[in-house]
Amino acid sequence: MTTETLDRLVEFRHDLHREPELGFEERDTSRKVCAYLDALGVEYVSGIGQTGVVAWIVGSAGKSDATVGLRADMDALPIEEKSGVAHTSTRAGRMHACGHDGHTSMLLGAVEHLTAHDDFAGTVYFVFQPAEEGVGGATAMIEDGVFERFDVREIYALHNWPALPIGQYGLIPGPIMACGDRVDITIHGRGGHGGLNPHGCIDPIRIAAELVHKAHTIIAREVDPLSPAVLSICALQAGDLSGFAVIPDTAKLCGTIRALDDATREIVRCRLRRLCESLEHYYGAEIELMIEDKFSVTFNDPAATETAREVIGSCFGEDTLAPNYKPCMGGEDFSYMLAERPGAYIHVGSGDDDHSRGLHHPEYDFNDRIMPAGIQLFTELARKSLEKQQTQA
């Protein structure tokens, strides 16, 4: 890839970073992606899953039924940026804090490279997905018929990973990212005077405090220690700090459940339901518990993982694969695409002295230094997948 092309892609990434859009609001982002594809003369369909885009290139090296998909996410997060970079967000309360601007730009780089070097047999599909951040973008594209409209037989995705140094890659077969639930709890008690008649109240703050304490023991005492799981209560709202003697009527809590298999996930869900029911009966309160499925387990197909290992080894060296790599308890809705088609999800090391902030941090910024490697990895994954499919046909 020429310096000129790389500079253009970096500037494209910076432009996306300056104008971030949340899930299903990526109208400007989609238009910019489509404009880039138009300039390359690449065919595409937009508006899939609301704001998603799918482009494709048919190789010139003979007719083949082999197909492969490469996916990148496009949405930003509701975070106020504090990175201080020159291309910082111009939209208040919106920020590319997970590097999706970089993923989109790398995938466009792969489109550009394969357009100029189409000496392969088969079809490569480029899936620009909206709304990855827990709001159902992958599901929306699937429900919109992405895999019926485009015959994708394998699919791959990358994610920049600040926890790994540049030049390292995280890849394992089986679960690599956890399933994830959003938990919302509302405790309906009976408010009153905190000094005059606390005994006449059903104090939702007292109940919430006990619930938080006991919920955080579920993993330690209810789950097999060899089955990784997480239950975190991450927010609690009740009362008003100006009302120092007012016991409120309600308290609201929010949190998350994570696990690497559905059986463990259901155990945690069941125990949390039982805990809420027991506190409800004991205190005479009403407790509403809602558990929303956000992500399934991101499961790497063993054969596709081996393909990715071969590509990483040949492109960057076997020693760049992080040794003894472990699954992450974060979630990823690429999991739903992997449930439909075999494929693999790869962590691309992006950490260095200037990029030490983790994902979703207000001071985070995507590391442009990994862009050439990400583009190369995307393109070679496509080539290797098509090659293997033809060999096995």
Burial-class residue 374 by CB neighbours within 10 Å (0-12, 13-18, 19+): buried
SS3 for 342? coil
Same domain, 351 and 366: yes
Same domain, 211 and 307: no
Same domain, 203 and 84: no
* Tens digits of residue pLDDT in 335-383: 999 999 999 999 999 999 999 999 999 999 999 999 999 999 999 999 9
Neighbours of 66 (CB within 10 A): 22
Which of 295, 320, 355 is the last residue before a domain boundary? Answer: 295
Same domain, 253 and 270: yes
pTM, to two decimals:
0.95
Which of 295, 326, 356 is the last residue before a domain boundary? Answer: 295
How many domains are there within the chain? 2
Q: Output the pLDDT for position 125.
A: 98
Q: Would the pLDDT of 149 be above 80?
A: yes
Same domain, 79 and 226: no
User: Which residues, at least 6 apart from 279, have a Cβ–Cβ distance to it below 8 Å?
Assistant: 207, 210, 211, 285, 287
* Mean pLDDT within 251-274: 97
Same domain, 95 and 41: yes
Residue 193 structural domain: 179-295
* Tens digits of residue pLDDT in 47-92: 999 999 999 999 999 899 999 999 999 999 999 999 999 999 999 9
Is there a contact between 74 and 22 (Cβ–Cβ < 8 Å)? Answer: no
Q: Output the pLDDT for position 392.
A: 86
What CATH code is carried by the domain that includes residue 213? 3.30.70.360
What CATH code is carried by the domain that includes residue 46? 3.40.630.10
Residue 119 to residue 141: CA distance in whole angstroms: 29
Residue 270 to residue 17: CA distance in whole angstroms: 41
* Tens digits of residue pLDDT in 198-243: 999 999 999 999 999 999 999 999 999 999 999 999 999 999 999 9
